[in-house]
Amino acid sequence: MEDSEQIQILQHLIQINSVNGNEAAVADYIKQLFAEHGISSTITPYAEGRSNIVAEIGNHKTDQVLALAGHLDTVATGDLADWKFNPFAAHVENNRLYGRGSADMKSGLAGMIITFLNLADHQDQLNGRLRFIGTVGEENGAMGSRDLTKQGIADDISAMVLGEPTGGNIVYAHNGSLNYHVYSQGVGAHSSMPEKGVNAITNLIKYVTAEATEFDDAPVSPELGPLVHSVTVFEGGEQVNSIPAKAELQGNIRPIPEFDNEAVINRLNETVNHLNEEPNVNLTLHIDYSFKPIISRKDSQLVQLTKQIADTEFGTPVNLQVIHGATDASEYIKSKNVFPVIVYGSGQWYDAHALNESVDLDQFHHVQQVYEQLTKKFLA
């Protein structure tokens, strides 16, 4: 496929606005591309305007399955006036393509799609199966990968590549991610008589204070470093002359294998229960979602083969790295099937969710070639 055709596919993906939804339009476009090359695919509706897509090529009589996976949604753009170029115009300038999702992660999707199209007419070269997985909602709960995992999508996978932005480097491990709410129930009263009420904000601040040292005894992961935790949203009160009867906060935690999601949830419950022993404190904890950390062995076939191919393709050694974000992989590894996972894509990690998000087109082409060569060699 000509370079210009590859760039057009990436541009078309970005021109479909899939900010926190509308993934069905992206799935339909991918299905059409696949059909033009004789690839059948299955679209699974999640909600109105939101669909997952799965496709597979190769030798269906074998048990070797390589999955190329990614998400179809993007985060919001913020104020369009702050963008240098329209984030849905997929503008190209100085060999960079600008747009929401260019790094996170429609360049990864495009590279995987192009790999499928290039290999579609040569399936006899694959002594195994290549599976494409495109999901809804990774940016806000990972509902798509969660549902597909429950349906068994990962139960026969031998290895998986997630196309999130890594700048052409290989990410073999990442933190988990756990989001939670703490609700504070108080008693409303006139602010001139605070003793008649219970201040929900004051009680919730007790949790904020406790949270600062809540995980001081957590070990440090040799691979991922320390557990990271923050209170990120705080809301309470209705008007200035009333004692607030309700308040709530949200927090985010990045678990590590040495202090995993279960340990984090236990600690959160311990803290809330301890504070609730104080007079007039009534806090309630709710876990919103919980992504597990992942670590694949550096010496696994997947990691080493990808590095060998990428080193050659880029003409310089690529790095083996960890990141502290989370991906759909945290859902896929809930399958009883155990398999290695890497995160590998074009675009820089720091460009994800950023104003004026962009991807270098040379890097985009190199990464696509790594996907294609990895598929051929892994399924040789």
pLDDT digits (tens, 9 = 90+) for 351-364: 999 999 999 999 99
Per-residue pLDDT tens digits for 228-261: 999 999 999 999 999 999 999 999 999 999 999 9
Alpha carbon 24 to its chain centroid, in Å, reads 18
The letter for the amino acid at 111 is G
Q: Which of 157, 137, 166, 152 lies closest to 49, judged by CA?
A: 137
- The proportion of the chain whose per-residue pLDDT surpasses 90, expressed as a percent, equals 93
Average pLDDT for the chain: 96
Label the pairing between strands 129-135 and 65-71.
Answer: parallel
Residue 261 makes CB contacts below 8 A (sequence gap 6+) with 176, 178, 255, 290, 291, 292
Q: What is the pLDDT of residue 164?
A: 97
Residue 316 has pLDDT above 80, yes or no: yes
Could you tell me which CATH number the domain at 3-175+293-378 has? Answer: 3.40.630.10
The DSSP annotation for 227-251 comes to -EEEEEEEEE-S-TTEE-SEEEEEE
Per-residue pLDDT tens digits for 133-178: 999 999 988 999 999 999 999 999 999 999 999 999 999 999 999 9
Question: Residues of CATH 3.40.630.10 domain(s) within the chain?
Answer: 3-175+293-378
Q: What is the pLDDT of residue 325?
A: 83
Question: Residues of CATH 3.30.70.360 domain(s) within the chain?
Answer: 177-291
Per-residue pLDDT tens digits for 81-100: 999 999 999 999 999 999 99
What is the pLDDT confidence band of residue 121, given thresholds at 50, 70 and 90?
A: confident
Residue 123 has pLDDT above 80, yes or no: no
The arithmetic mean of pLDDT across residues 22-49, rounded, is 97
Q: Which of 2, 132, 120 lies closest to 72, judged by CA?
A: 132
The arithmetic mean of pLDDT across residues 204-226, rounded, is 96
What is the pLDDT confidence band of residue 122, given thresholds at 50, 70 and 90?
A: confident
Q: Residue 88: CA atoms inside 13 Å, Cβ hemisphere, count?
A: 12
Residue 124 has pLDDT above 80, yes or no: no
Q: d(Cα 71, Cα 53) in Å, to the nearest integer?
A: 10
The arithmetic mean of pLDDT across residues 343-347, rounded, is 97
Extract the tokens encoding 273. 């229960």
CATH topology for 177-291 is Alpha-Beta Plaits (3.30.70)
Residue 326 has pLDDT above 90, yes or no: no
Label the pairing between strands 246-254 and 177-185.
Answer: antiparallel
The arithmetic mean of pLDDT across residues 266-284, rounded, is 98
What is the pLDDT confidence band of residue 324, given thresholds at 50, 70 and 90?
A: confident
Residue 333 has pLDDT above 90, yes or no: yes
Residue 269 has pLDDT above 80, yes or no: yes
Q: What is the pLDDT of residue 3?
A: 87
Q: What is the pLDDT of residue 168?
A: 96
Task: Specify the DSSP class assigned to residue 187.
Answer: B
From the CB of residue 280, how many other CB atoms can be counted at a distance below 10 Å?
13
